[in-house]
Amino acid sequence: MKNNIIFFIAVLLCSCGDDSGGGVTPPAVVPEISIISKNVNENPETSELLVEVTLSQSTTEMVSVNVETISKTAEAGSDFESLSTTIEIAPGQTKQTVPITILADDVKEIDETFSVLISGAVNATIKFEMATILIKDFDEAVYTEDGYETASNQAGYNLVWSDEFDGEVLDASSWTYEMGNGCNKDLCGWGNNELQSYSDQPENIKLEDGKLIITALEEPYTSARIITQDKREYKWGRIDIRAKLPKGQGIWPAIWMLGENINEVSWPACGEIDIMELVGHTPNISHGTAHWGNSGEGSQFQGSSFSLSQDFADQYHVFTLLWKNNSMQWHVDETLFHTITTDNTQGFNYPFNNEFFFIMNVAIGGNWPGEPDETTVFPQTMEVDYIRVFQEK
């Protein structure tokens, strides 16, 4: 009993000893801690990015938190230096910066991202745990004699399907020929008053030297059109298509996609993604366009174009769609020229977070290019070296 009393007094003394100011110390506030997303340029030389970690308010305690980088399409070791550390924010402060080394190269790349994660906060609760760092690339595209080429592996992605067109015959497990003149009920011409009839014959479509070759022939106009409907349908990813395009008045090559639900909701509600379209009287301009909305007056589209100093018929170029949740970005030779997001829908349903299939064709005539004339040289070919679909890991 005596020992217990002494212990009790000792506890009282101890707790009084902390209270030397005479008042009661308020409990320290527990602020919220966040890490802030940022864009950075890939400079010609290695550079330092300062990422900010912020508190919602200052506190009387030392705050600490673990910070680590996570590779995405930007990779530790080649695009930035991996970091895993603990930082402290001193009492009374509300901010600390974390230096991350951004590595330089002279390789043309599509803008890349990595993440910075905070965890294990002491004296704070985590509000925003993940920052996205976008590295913007300004390197020049490098061309070989036959044009531009992209890497067959892409950091941060898995290759989920590709057709390199290396075989003797078109892969029927991926592609279906669409045949005929497009007459459907009382409409003719594939919906755009086009003149061609599509065939599956070698004079119009064949594989040769690792390329898919679609050939447009003069009157009676014939060409080819292939689709992956019900065979290869994808949602989101990076899509690379390397192709050399035809030219001339009235020639209209296209590499494009339609929503797989087209038979249920019809066009354009299903969505259309034109990765590449070219009208042959402007053979140095590739167009990227999205279509959506309701049929008739509710039909919406938004496009942009990319111009070369040469014709797209002179060399191979790579048409890339970077397609993410709620956004799509069009590139030629890894240079961005068009972006569509959910902010662009004009109040209509955004159909692009859905599965789509591919279409490749060369049309002749039609509403946009008009008819061929005496300047048009036949035959005209679209040569496709590869189509590759990558999806984020």
* Structure tokens given for 276: 């590449």
Residue in 42, 112, 194, 272 annotated catalytic: 272
Judged by CB under 5 A, does residue 44 bind Ca ion? Answer: no
At 208, is the secondary structure helix, strand, or coil? Answer: strand
Rounded CA-CA distance 285/303 in Å is: 12
Closest by CA position to 89, among listed 53, 44, 117: 53
Q: How many residues bind Ca ion (CB under 5 A)?
A: 10
How far apart are alpha carbons 42 and 355 in whole angstroms? 33
Question: By CB under 5 A, what part of segment 246-275 binds Ca ion?
Answer: none
Q: Confirm whether 68 is a catalytic residue.
A: no
Q: Which residues in the 139-158 window bind Ca ion by CB under 5 A?
A: 139
Residue 109 binds to Ca ion (criterion: CB under 5 A) = yes
Helix-strand-coil percent breakdown of the chain, rounded to 5? Answer: 10, 45, 45
Residue nearest to Ca ion (CB): 210
List the one residue out of 168, 182, 166 whose CA is nearest residue 361. 182
By CB under 5 A, what part of segment 369-388 binds Ca ion?
A: 385-386
* Residue 260 φ then ψ, to 5°: -65, -15
Q: How far is the CB of 318 from Ca ion (least distance, A)?
A: 12
Tell whether residue 105 is a contact of Ca ion (CB under 5 A): yes
Mark whether 178 is an active-site residue.
no
Closest-CA residue to 236 (of 320, 323, 315):
323
Residue 376 has which token pair?
A: 């048009």
Quick one: 90 or 142, whose CB is closer to Ca ion?
A: 142
Q: Which of 221/316 has CB closer to Ca ion?
A: 316
The first and second tokens of residue 141, run together, are 């595209």
Query: For residue 328, with 0-12 CB atoms within 10 Å meaning exposed, 13-18 middle and 19 or more buried, which class applies?
Result: buried
Between 164 and 183, how does the x/- string for binding to Ca ion read (CB under 5 A)?
A: xx------------------
107 binds Ca ion (CB under 5 A): yes
Q: Which stretch binds Ca ion (CB under 5 A): 76-84, 160-168, 190-198, 220-228?
A: 160-168
Can you read off the two tokens belonging to residue 4?
Answer: 């217990």
Q: Which residue in 112, 260, 277, 334 is the catalytic one? A: 277
Give me the 198-237 binding string for Ca ion, x by CB under 5 A, dash otherwise: ------------x---------------------------
Strand partners for 258 = 272, 357
As measured in angstroms, the least distance from the Cβ of 210 to Ca ion is 4
Residue 137 binds Ca ion, judged by CB under 5 A: yes
| Comparison of 137 and 240: residue with beta carbon closer to Ca ion | 137
* Residues binding Ca ion (CB under 5 A): 105, 107, 109, 137, 139, 164-165, 210, 385-386
